Amino acid sequence: MAQTLQQSELKARIKSLALEMGFDQVGITTPAALGEGEQAIETWVQEGRHGDMRYLEDFEIRRERFFSGFDDAKSVIVLGVNYYSKNEGQGTRDKGQVLKGRVARYAWGKDYHKVIRQKHQQLVDQLKELVGDKLQAKSCIDVQPIPERFAATQAGLGFIGKHTGVLNQAFGPWLFLSEIVTNLELEEDPPSNGDCGTCNHCQKVCPTGALDQDYKMDARLCIAYLTIEHKGVIPRELRPKIKDWIFGCDECLQICPFTSKTKETQWTEFKPEAGFGEWLNLDELFQINSNSQHDKKFQATAIRRASRKQLLRNACIVLGNSGRKEALPYLEKALNDPGSIVRLHAAWALGRIPNPEARALLSLRRSVEPDIDVLAEIDSSLESSH
């Protein structure tokens, strides 16, 4: 009984410290309770739904490596940070403004990996003061082999919705999740129970059909995956469906009934003014002429996850979908970019703009283009512009 009481007191103190530090949600589970989530990831990968995210194919190996030398890991502290912030403006929908590309809300401010990692270290330092040097702890923020959404449900932070994100009773779908795995033996919180019932708003609104199967996502169709993780050519049939999203997508989250529970984040690091906000100015983007300039400009934000070529590829799609004549100078520059993937998407975009100048640019580039895939895209655009 004394041991149970000691665990209970320690758990309460840890939760209090985490909340004082700014975390909005905290719960406790164990490594042993994560098996079902790990199996779900392996099944998802076996079905090929992970696309080009090859690191997920090595999930079991990475898990063994992560827990190597940490055989006494007993508890997982699951932490949630509310990142919701209100919209800034209308961007490309305002015809009088410069062309812009829309950014998913999670990337409006500073890079959450860096911000939360610092908070984790502060929390671990506090725990060492509390329990002494016997403490072992490993920080997990998105990239470690922990099935974090399943961990969140096991720790009582919410349930997984049909859009495959965690739905929290206090903050809706807008939580950054992270974990600290520790050798402290803590009382587990009861798991969350819940489901979406007959609601399928997210499935109906998804532009590409990535959520056609309940509680499963096909990453190969997801706009967030296509614009951030996918490094190659975006399938032609999906490009119009990307609309004005240049980095990520929030459509399934924005329409979820749980958005009624949203609250403005108290973390200044995740507010729009801390980063680039809801829209990327495409004029500024096309002034970046090297990878080093790209890294320097976006170094403090999650947008750096997409390389210069990827972001320009995405920008070309946004410009093509705009159909605006004002896009032509940017697409002309993209059509002459050193990266063939940028040129290919620029060629497609020019075919979407009903203007004689677009056709002239394609014809001119065709006479000097060395890449057969880009040539095929140019020919397709010229054919469709007849």
For the beta carbon of residue 225, count every other beta carbon within 10 angstroms.
22
More confident residue, 56 or 334: 334
- Dump the DSSP string for 209-236: -TT-BTTB--GGG-HHIIIII--SPPPG
Tens-digit pLDDT profile for residues 14-54: 999 999 999 999 999 999 999 999 999 999 999 999 999 98
* Residue 42 confidence (pLDDT): 94
Q: Name the residue with tokens 């997982």.
A: 76
Please name the amino acid found at residue 321: N
* Residue 174 confidence (pLDDT): 98
Tens-digit pLDDT profile for residues 170-211: 999 999 999 999 999 999 999 999 999 999 999 999 999 999
**Residue 97 — very low, low, confident or very high, per pLDDT cuts 50/70/90?**
low
Q: Find the mean pLDDT for residues 51-76.
A: 90
Q: Find the mean pLDDT for residues 288-317.
A: 97
The catalytic position among 142, 189, 244, 373 is 142
* Residue 88 confidence (pLDDT): 56
Q: Find the mean pLDDT for residues 218-237.
A: 98
Residues forming CATH 1.25.10.10 domain(s) in the chain: 286-386
Quote the CA–CA distance of 375 and 369 in Å, as a whole number: 6
Look at residue 95 and tell me whether its pLDDT is greater than 80. no
* Residue 2 confidence (pLDDT): 35
Cβ contact 327:353 at 8 Å: yes
* Residue 357: both structure tokens together: 């100048």
* Residue 82 confidence (pLDDT): 98
Q: Mean pLDDT in the chain?
A: 94
Sheet holding 75-82: strands in order across? 25-29, 75-82, 175-182, 137-140
- 328: β partners: none
Q: Find the mean pLDDT for residues 275-281.
A: 96
DSSP E strand stretches across 153-216: 159-160, 166-167, 175-182
* Residue 8 confidence (pLDDT): 80
Containing 101, the helix (H) or strand (E) segment is strand 100-103
Which residues are CB-neighbours of 265 under 8 A, at least 6 positions away? Answer: 81, 82, 83, 84, 85, 174, 271
CA atoms within 13 A on the CB side of 46: 7
Quote the CA–CA distance of 87 and 84 in Å, as a whole number: 10
Sheet holding 279-281: strands in order across? 245-247, 100-103, 279-281
- Dump the DSSP string for 18-36: HHHTT-SEEEEE-GGGGHH
CA atoms within 13 A on the CB side of 66: 21
What's the Cα-to-Cα distance from 42 to each of 57, 61, 64, 70, 140, rounded to whole Å? 8, 12, 14, 23, 19
Q: Find the mean pLDDT for residues 372-380.
A: 98
Q: Percent of the chain beyond pLDDT 90?
A: 89
Tens-digit pLDDT profile for residues 3-17: 444 778 899 999 999
**Residue 70 — very low, low, confident or very high, per pLDDT cuts 50/70/90?**
confident
What class does CATH assign to 286-386? mainly alpha
Q: Percent of the chain beyond pLDDT 70?
A: 96
Per-residue buried b or exposed e for 247-261, using 16+ beta carbons within 10 Å of the residue's own CB: bbbbbbbebbebbeb
Which residues are CB-neighbours of 192 under 8 A, at least 6 positions away? Answer: 152, 153, 156, 157, 158, 159
Instruction: Collapse the DSSP code of 154 into the 3-class scheme (helix H, G, I; strand E, B; otherwise coil) and give the result.
Output: helix
Per-residue buried b or exposed e for 335-366, using 16+ beta carbons within 10 Å of the residue's own CB: bebebbbbbbbbbbbbbbbeeeebbebbeebe
Q: Name the residue with tokens 């990475």.
A: 62
Tens-digit pLDDT profile for residues 98-142: 799 999 999 999 999 999 999 999 999 999 999 988 899 999 998
Check if 142 is active-site. Answer: yes
Tell me the whole-structure pTM to 2 decimals: 0.94
